[in-house]
Amino acid sequence: MALLLAAVLVVAVVPLVILFNLAGGGTGYGVCPHGLTACEVSYTRGLELLLVLVVFLFLLLAAIRVVARGIRHLRREQELDEAIRRISGRA
């Protein structure tokens, strides 16, 4: 679960890291290979990056939901087993 939450955080931080790299005179990790002043990125490049990040983020959130449901199911099952053991021990 912690690994999935860390992955969500990484996906959310990627655009900031790219922007900070560009602001510092870098290439934006390949977004603008010759720096920001000579950057000729098409209009769709940013949308592609956004789409990939959003899809990946939703997949991670879905995985977190599945894991949380599994954990909740296991806890309910354990509670039921404990209740049955208590009842059968008293009878």
Give pLDDT, residue 91.
Answer: 53
Give pLDDT, residue 41.
Answer: 67
Give pLDDT, residue 46.
Answer: 75
Closest CA to 40 of 28, 51, 52: 28
Give pLDDT, residue 76.
Answer: 95
| Stated pTM of the model | 0.64
Per-residue pLDDT of the chain (91 residues; tens, 9 = 90+): 788 888 888 888 888 888 888 888 888 777 777 777 777 767 777 788 888 888 998 999 999 999 999 999 999 999 999 999 998 876 5
Q: What angle do CA 5, 8, 10 make, to 5 degrees?
A: 110
Give domain limits for the chain.
2-90
